Structure 1
C-alpha cells in the first residue's frame, strides 16, 4: 500500500469475506413490516385507496395523450433494461459470487407471485410488435412479477455495488408510482404488492448469503497516526473485524510501535442494539449511558484511558482517536507495559490497585486477566472499553465480583477473598459476592473464564466462611425476574383457559337466584378435604420432614400452578420444589411426589371400581367408554412409543439412567410402606379424601340447585369424568371437565337445567376460587423462599 509517497507493507487478513450484519437483520424486519402493511391495507382500505389515487391523478395528470405515451415509452424501456444493466454492472466489477444470489432472488420473487389456486401461472405477455410498442411495455410494467424481480435483485446487489449506482437504480424503480399517476391515473395495487414481495425476498436472500465486508480506510488510518508523530512503516493484522474491532499493530520509524483498533459502522449497529436490550433488561444503575454514535464510543474509551493514566494505573497511553472515511473510527495506543497477570503475582497488589481506582469513583468493567498487567511491583489496567467515570455502586460492586473470580482462578479462592477483605473490608466483599452470577458480572466476562460456574461457587463458599455468613442470596439485577416472567405466563394461560367459562357467566348468574346458599357453603367447606387429604398424603410420603401447615397452604397454591399448565405438570413441579426447599434432596423429593401420585392413581381406580359396583347396572355407563377405534388408536400409539424408546439409543439410555432409578425408588418405597401399615393407611386415607372431597363438593352443588341424586352416583361421575378429562390438552382440563361431568350426570338421569349450573358452581368452588387464592398463596410462599 502506498500512502503519500511512502510504501507501507500490510500483512494478514483485513476482514472476513462474508458476514451477516445487523443491517441485514434490520432490512429483513423492515421488509416484513412493509409486506404486512401492504397486504393488510389492500384488504382494509382498498376502495378508499383507489379513490384517493383517482383524485390525486386528476390533479397531477396534466400531460396530453401523446406526451403520456412518450413518457411511458421512455420509462418502460429503462425498466425493461434495468435488470440487464445490473447484471452487466456486476460482471464488470467482477462480483462472481453474487451471480447465484442474483438469479435465486429473481426466480424466487417471480415464482412467489405466480402461485395460484390452480398451480403456477406463467406470464401472459404478447410479444407482437406489429401493434403499438407501449402495449408490450404495459404488459410487463403492470405485471407485479417484473416489479418484484427488480426489487429483489436490487436488494441483493445493493451491498455489493457503489452507493451512487444503488441510489439511481432504486430511484428509477420507485419512479413507477408518479409515472403511473401522471400517465395511467392509477397506481396498480398489484405493483405495490410486487415491490414489497421483491424487497422481502431480496432481504431474505441477503441474510442467508451474507454481505461483503466493508473496505477498510487504511490510508486515512496511516495519515491519522502520522499527524500524531507515528510514521507507519508496516501494518500487521492481529485479529480481523468481527464481533470486536479490527486489531492491528503498526510498526513506526524508531523503536516505538502502536496498537490500532478500527471500528466499522456495522459493528456499532450491533453494539447499539445490544445496548438498547441491556437498558430494557437491566436496571439503570447496572448499565452505562447509551453511546449513540461510534465516534462518542471511541472518544469515551480514549478519555477513560487518559483519566486512569493520570492515576498511574493505565498500562497504555492513548495515541489518537479519529473518525475515518466510510463510517469507520480509529483508536490507537502505544505499546502495552508490563506482563499479563498470572498466579505468581501476590493478589493483594491487584486489590490495592483496584481500591485506588474505586477511590476515584472509576469502575473498569472488564477485569479479565488479559486486561491486567504487572510492571515490576505495579499492577496496571488496560482495555477501558467498559470503564466508567463517576460509577454507580452497582458498577463498583461488579468490579469487585469480577476481580474475586479472576484472582480466585489464579491464586485460589482463599487467598483471593482474604486479599479482597483486606483491601475493601468484609462488608463490601460480602455485598459484592452476591453478584457472582453470569448476568451480574456480564456474560462477556463469564464466558471468557474457564469453568466460571465452579470458580464462582468456590469463591462464594469462601466468602461465607471468612465472613461467618450462613448464606448469600444472588443479587437481583434485572428489571424482571424469572419468577415474574413465569407468573406472567401463568396468568396469560389462566385468562386463556378461563375464556370458555366466562362465556357461560350470564346464564350461570341467572341461575344463582334460585341457589340454596347453605348447600353452596357446605360445598365450599367440604372441598377443603381435597387440600387437607393431598397434604396429609404428601406429608406421609415425605416421612413427616416438612411442616404440615405449610404443606396444606402449598396445596392451595398447587391449584393455581396445576390449572395454568397442561396436564397439571406445574403442580407436580411446585410440590417437588417445596419439598426441596423443606430440606429433602432432589431425588428424595421427586420420589415422594411420584409415590404420592402412584398411590393416588391406585386409590382412585379402587374407589372407582367399588362405587361403580355399588351404583349397579341402572346407570348408562357406555357413554364413558371410548369407541373401539379410539382404543385401538391409543394402543397403537403407545406401542409405537415403546418401540421408539427401545430402538433409539439416546431414549433407551434415558430410560435406563433416568427413569429406571426413579422407578426403583418408588417400588422400594412401596415395599417400605407395606412394612409400615400406619403410614400406608395415612397415605391411602389422604388420597381417598382428595377424591371424595371433590365428589362431596359436586353433590352439595347439585343439592344447592334442587337436584336429587345419590352420593354414590355423584362419586362415580366425578371419578369417571375427571379421569377422562385429565387427558385433555387444555390447562386444568377446562372445557373437558365441564363437558364430562354434565354428560355423566345426564347419564344418571339428572336434568340439564340442574346439571349445568351445578357443574359450574362446582368448578367455581373447586377450581376458580382456589386458583385466585392460590396465586396469592404462591407469591407468599415465594417471598418466604419456600418454593
Structure 2
C-alpha cells in the first residue's frame, strides 16, 4: 500500500481531530520494515536449498530437466513464438508501469525499482562469471553453467523480478497479473529453448526477490503508520472527546504510547502498528526453538490477533480483581494500526523508584497481586520491574500484552522466577525471598528454585545480571536456607545450548575436511607400502601418553591416589572426547575422579588447575625452545627460521600488550584467570613440599609431550617420511594448542588440519603428511574410544567416577 493510499483512507478519520493538539516527534517519511528483511531471509533459505539440491538429488534434477526437454519438442513452434513475444513484453511492461507512476507523481517508487534492477543485473553477471570459472562441478552441471549457450541465471528476468518486487504491487491486482504473467511466459520460453534450466529459473527467481526485498529494507518504504491526529480522531469516534495528546517514549519498539486528556479524565493509549508486529521476530523464533517452555504460542501475531490477545488479558485480569489499569475501549486506526485506551494511572514504575522507597509492605502487595493473577491460571510472561506501576504506595500490574490464559504450572513458576529475580536485583535476595514466602509459601518458593536459570529470564534481566553475576547463586542459597527441607527436582528448560550448535557445525566441517583428505589418498597403496614396525612404535608411544597423563595428575595432588585407577580415568577421558571439546574433557573427568577419591571439591579443582597451569607453561616453553632449535638447523627439512619465530613472538607480545592497556579487556582476562586458577597457588605450595610429587608432576608433563611427539614421528616414518625431531615437535605443539582451543569434540578437524598443514610446510609431501596424521589420530583419538568406554563404565560401577 502506498503512502498516498494510506493517507487517503485516513482522511475521513482525520477530519474528526480538528482542534485537538497532539505533541509528538516529527513523523519519518520512510521506515525500514522488518517484514522485508524476513522475506529476504526466507528467499535466501530457498536459494540455499536450490543450490544444495544438485548435490543431494542429482538424478532427480537431471531427470526433471530431461522430461521438460522431451515435453517441449511437440510444441516447439508455439514456444518459439512465445519466446519472441515474451522477450519484448517482459521489458515493455515495466517501462509502461514506470511511465504510469511518473505521470501520477510517484517517481520515487520507480527509482527504487530501477536501483534494485541494476543491482540484480550486476549480481547476475558476477555470479555467472564466478560459476563459469570456479563453480562446483555438480552445481554448474545441474544449473546449466557448463552447457554451451546456456546461462543459469536469466540476465533478462532477474532485474525484472527485482524491479517488480521493489515497486510493491500489493493492492494492484491487475498490474500484478500482467507483470507476473509476462515473467512466467518468458521463463517457460527460456526453459523450453534450452536457454536455462529448471533449477536455474528457480535460482533466478530467488535472487531477484532477495535483491528486491533488501533494496526495500535498505532504502525504506513509505511510512504507513497513522499519525497522532489519527489516534485522537479514533478516540473521538469512540465518544471519548480528547482535547490533548502527548507521545510518551517508553523505550519499546513494538508499540507507541500516548497520554491523552479526555472529557472523562486522562487516558493511557497504546497504539499497535501493523509493521511492528514483526519486531523481535528472529529473537522470539530463536527462543522458541531453544527453550522447551517460555516461548509464546505464536511467534508472529497479526495485528488483529495482538489486539484481541491484549484485550482478553486486560478484561480477564480485571475480572480476577487484579489491580491493573481498566481497559476502556479498543479500535482500529485505519488499516495499519489499532489502539487500546486504558484508564490513566498516575504512578511511577518500580524500576524508577529509589531503593529506599521500596518497602517490605510494597513487596508483599506486589506478590499478592501476582498471586491473584496466577490463581486464575494467567501468566504475565514479562514480570520485571517495568511491569509494576506504583501509585500512592499501591502496586498495579501493567504490560499485559504478552500474557496468556489457561497456562501450565511451568509457565506460572517461570513468571514467579522472573519476578523474584527482578525484585532481588533491586532489594537484595534476602528481602525478595522473605516477602515472596509470606505470600506464596515455602513449598511454592522451593519449586521456583530449579527455574532460577539465566536462560529462563527476560533479555533485560539477563543484561542486569551481568552487573551482579553472583545474584542467582546467592538467591538459590537464600531459598535453601529459608526452606532447607525442600526437595529439588532439576528442570531442563533448554532443548539445546548455543555451544551445541557450534560443536555440530565444527564437527561437520571437521568431518568434511577428513573426508576430503581421504578422497585424495590411495588407502590400498598406503596399507600395502606402510612400514608397520614404525606403526607399532607409534602405538606404544600412544599408550605411554595415558601413563604420563596419570603421572601429571598424581604429581599435583598431595593426597594418595591409586595409580591403576588414575590411568583408567585418563583412558576414560578419551571416550568422553567424542562428545565434548578436548579442553573441557580432561578437566571435567579429572575433577570428578578426584572428588570420588575423597579429595574435597575445592582442592580437586585447584589440583586440576595446577596441573593445567603447569602443562600450559611447559607447553609454551617447549614451543619456544623447539622453534629456536628448528630455526637453527640447516637441513632441508627445517620447519621455520628463527627470525620468523622471533617476529611472531614479538608480534604476539605487542598485541597482548596493546590489549592489556584496555581496562575492560584487562579486567575480563583477570576474572577469567582467577576463576580458572583460583586456589592453584596454595595447592602448588602444598605440592612443592614433597620433591617426589614435583618430579612426578613435571616428569609426567614432559613425558606426555615426548610420547605424543614420538607417536607422530613414528607415524611419519611408517609411510616413508622423514623430518627433524624438533620440526615434528613444533608441528605437534602447534596443532595440539589449536585442537585444545577448538570447540569440536576432541578438536576434530582443527587438529587434522593444523598437523597436515604443519607437516606439509615442514617439507613432507602432502600424501605422506595426510597419511601420517590419519594414523596418528587413529592411534590417539579413535582407537582408544572402545577401551575408554570400558574404563568409563568400570570406574562408574566402582563409584570412582
Same fold by TM-score greater than 0.5: yes
State the alpha-carbon separation in 2 of the partners of residues 773 and 605 from structure 1. 35
Match in the other structure for 1:532: 547
Work out which of the residue numbers 422, 429, 435 in structure 1 matches 2:451: 435
State the alpha-carbon separation in 2 of the partners of residues 784 and 488 from structure 1. 33
Match in the other structure for 2:291: 282
State the alpha-carbon separation in 1 of the partners of residues 180 and 556 from structure 2. 75
1:317 aligns with 2:332: no
Work out which of the residue numbers 398, 405, 408 in structure 2 matches 1:392: 408
State the alpha-carbon separation in 1 of the partners of residues 299 and 680 from structure 2. 56
SS of the equivalent of 1:326 reads coil
Match runs of 1:618-697 below 5 Å: 622=635, 624-626=637-639, 633-642=644-653, 644-645=655-656, 650=661, 676-687=690-701, 689-690=703-704
State the alpha-carbon separation in 1 of the partners of residues 579 and 565 from structure 2. 22
State the alpha-carbon separation in 2 of the partners of residues 177 and 264 from structure 1. 35
Seen in structure 2, the aligned counterparts of structure 1 residues 569 and 548 have a Cα distance that, compared at 3 Å, is same
Query: Contact 2:569–2:589 (CA<8 Å) still a contact in 1?
Result: yes
1:259 aligns with 2:268: yes
Query: Contact 1:181–1:187 (CA<8 Å) still a contact in 2?
Result: no
State the alpha-carbon separation in 2 of the partners of residues 212 and 459 from structure 1. 49
Gaps of 5+ in 2: 1-12, 55-60, 131-152, 740-746
1:482-525 Cα offsets, whole Å, 9 max, x none, are: 5755664565466456547977897499879x999xx98x9978
Match in the other structure for 2:752: 734
Match in the other structure for 1:617: none
Work out which of the residue numbers 407, 414, 417 in structure 2 matches 1:401: 417
Query: Contact 2:267–2:342 (CA<8 Å) still a contact in 1?
Result: yes
Seen in structure 2, the aligned counterparts of structure 1 residues 468 and 60 have a Cα distance that, compared at 3 Å, is same
Match runs of 1:568-583 below 5 Å: 582-583=601-602
1:732-776 Cα offsets, whole Å, 9 max, x none, are: 6438869999999x99xxxx99x9999977754433122466589
State the alpha-carbon separation in 1 of the partners of residues 708 and 667 from structure 2. 37
State the alpha-carbon separation in 2 of the partners of residues 525 and 9 from structure 1. 88
Shift of 1:52: 4.9
* Larger displacement relative to structure 2 (407-416 or 631-640): 631-640
1:299-345 Cα offsets, whole Å, 9 max, x none, are: 12212222221222132222234455434333222223766445036
Match in the other structure for 1:108: 119
Seen in structure 2, the aligned counterparts of structure 1 residues 176 and 93 have a Cα distance that, compared at 3 Å, is closer
Work out which of the residue numbers 575, 590, 615 in structure 2 matches 1:596: 615
Seen in structure 2, the aligned counterparts of structure 1 residues 75 and 198 have a Cα distance that, compared at 3 Å, is closer
Match runs of 1:444-459 below 5 Å: 444-447=460-463, 451=467, 453=469, 455-459=471-475
> How many residue pairs were aligned?
724
Match in the other structure for 1:330: 339
Match in the other structure for 1:249: 259
1:148-188 Cα offsets, whole Å, 9 max, x none, are: 54444444443xxx744696278336515426868998595
Query: Contact 1:281–1:479 (CA<8 Å) still a contact in 2?
Result: yes
Shift of 1:222: 5.4
Gaps of 5+ in 1: 120-142, 613-619
Match runs of 1:224-623 below 5 Å: 225=235, 229-239=239-249, 243-252=253-262, 254-270=263-279, 273-284=282-293, 287-288=296-297, 292-336=301-345, 340-341=349-350, 342=353, 343-344=358-359, 346=361, 347-374=363-390, 379-447=395-463, 451=467, 453=469, 455-468=471-484, 475-481=491-497, 484-485=500-501, 488=504, 491-492=507-508, 495-496=511-512, 499=515, 507=524, 527-541=542-556, 543-544=558-559, 552=567, 555-556=570-571, 558-559=573-574, 582-583=601-602, 590-599=609-618, 622=635
Match in the other structure for 2:38: 26
Seen in structure 2, the aligned counterparts of structure 1 residues 207 and 414 have a Cα distance that, compared at 3 Å, is same
Shift of 1:421: 1.8
State the alpha-carbon separation in 2 of the partners of residues 626 and 450 from structure 1. 45
Match in the other structure for 1:171: 178
1:695-723 Cα offsets, whole Å, 9 max, x none, are: 998999999x9x9x9xxx99x99886454
State the alpha-carbon separation in 2 of the partners of residues 61 and 227 from structure 1. 60
State the alpha-carbon separation in 2 of the partners of residues 144 and 760 from structure 1. 45
Seen in structure 2, the aligned counterparts of structure 1 residues 447 and 289 have a Cα distance that, compared at 3 Å, is same
Seen in structure 2, the aligned counterparts of structure 1 residues 684 and 523 have a Cα distance that, compared at 3 Å, is same
Match runs of 1:23-62 below 5 Å: 23-32=35-44, 49=68, 52=71, 55=74, 58=77
